[in-house]
Structure 1
Amino acid sequence: MVAAVVELARERGPEGITTQAIADRVGVTNGALFRHFPDKLAMWSAVFDWVEERLEAVVDDAFRGGGDPIEVLERVFLAHVRFVSGHPGVPRILFHELQRPADSEFRDRVRKAVRGYRKRIGELLAQAKRAGLLPATLDEEAAAVLFIGTVQGLAVQSTLFRGEAGMNAAARRLFPLLLDGFRGPHR
């Protein structure tokens, strides 16, 4: 069911996803969906669970790959972009849900996930500073925000231009620029 929602989000946008469309894609009745999920919000929650689990696994694998902190940082960046380019409906769903004006459980969960990811990237940047690979003056928190923002920027542009296929190549070109920014003028 989750894969169907992600595919539909890419094709129609989240606002165009009805429970009937999900049921049709999965090959069940609309009523069958509601035997598994009490409401549409529970379906969106299942989608977020799936995204969170898959993205965390991809990022964890990249962290475990070994090497110096800069190599790990690049691997994490490229793995994150690969995940987004392979599941282009995911950013559409997240952006759609985050546009709602009121705080929600979904927004809280996204905040918590991003906060944890930002912390992990900040710790990796701190390791790179201690190893002398990045300047001691680097603001790890700001650099982590920029790191994540660069991935998000690629996701937004791919959504605008239907350019998921080019995201990975763009990420390989952008990472050295990002790293140069982290290193600053005192190399």
Structure 2
Amino acid sequence: MTEVRAKNLPAEERRNVTVEAVIDLAGMMNPGDITTAAIAKHMHLTQGALFRHFPNKEAIWQAVMQWVATHLMARIDKSAAGIKEPLAAMQAMFQAHVAFVADHPGAPRMLFGELQGAAMTPAKRLAQALMAQYAARLTDLILSAKIRGELPADLDVEAATVLFIGTIQGLVMQALISGDMGRMLTVAPRVFHIYRRGLETAAPNKPKG
């Protein structure tokens, strides 16, 4: 982006461009090391121009988390729209989530960073709300799959939900460590296949004694 273009953007678009700039930077460096000076430099702006649209850094981080939540949920909801079979919808969500991360590698780094922080910031609350919303979507689909007979009636729904999210997080972490986001896209369908087979053949927990 050129400095001239940035200066001439409408206020709302400037805010969106700022959010995208932070996500871009998070894909290249530790989110905790991102300063407002670094954001302004990346956008070819002064810090003063940046703060005309955000009162402080915390407000920028809150806007970033809102962007991630809105765009990720929109991506996975669109992927599953119109798919009647719950497990097929879950597979579409799985692949869409991985594709979102491949497109925006800074997004999960920002999300993980907020969730790991000790302070309960507005950005962290948004990150927690995103995870809760995501888990609720999965729970509904898993329950529907049980009702339709796609999954065992005694399947542990909570554990299946946690495993779905954890599997994606594992793929994402490995991709971030290796720097090979493309491989994550090719491996994801095979990983989901193993996850699905695990659900379909899961044995109920039996009390000891």
Band of TM-score, shorter chain:
over 0.9
Tell me how far 1:63 sits from its aligned partner.
2.3
Aligned equivalent of 2:9: none
Asked if 1:123 corresponds to 2:140, the answer is yes
Q: Which structure features the higher share of helix residues?
A: 1
- How far has the Cα of 1:106 moved from its partner? 2.3
Match of 1:20 among 20, 30, 37: 37
1:177 is aligned, of 176, 187, 194, to 194
Query: Displacement of 1:155 after TM fit?
Result: 1.2
Match of 2:119 among 83, 93, 102: 102
> Which residue among 149, 155, 172 is the counterpart of 2:172?
155
Return the TM-score normalized by structure 2: 0.84
CA distance in 2, matches of 1:185, 1:60: 27
- Percent sequence identity is 42
Larger mean CA deviation between 65-74 and 146-155 belongs to 65-74
Larger deviation, residues 85-94 vs 31-40: 85-94
The structure with the larger Rg is 2
Matched with 2:25 is 8
Matched length: 186
Which stretch has the larger CA shift, 124-133 or 155-164?
155-164
C-alpha RMSD over aligned residues: 1.4
1:39 alignment counterpart: 56
Q: Are residue 140 (structure 1) and residue 157 (structure 2) matched?
A: yes
How far apart are 1:185 and its partner, in Å? 5.3
Q: Is the contact made by 1:58 and 1:80 (CA closer than 8 Å) also made in structure 2?
A: yes
Distance 1:26 1:121 in 2: 37
Matched-pair contact (CA < 8 Å) for 1:13–1:89: no
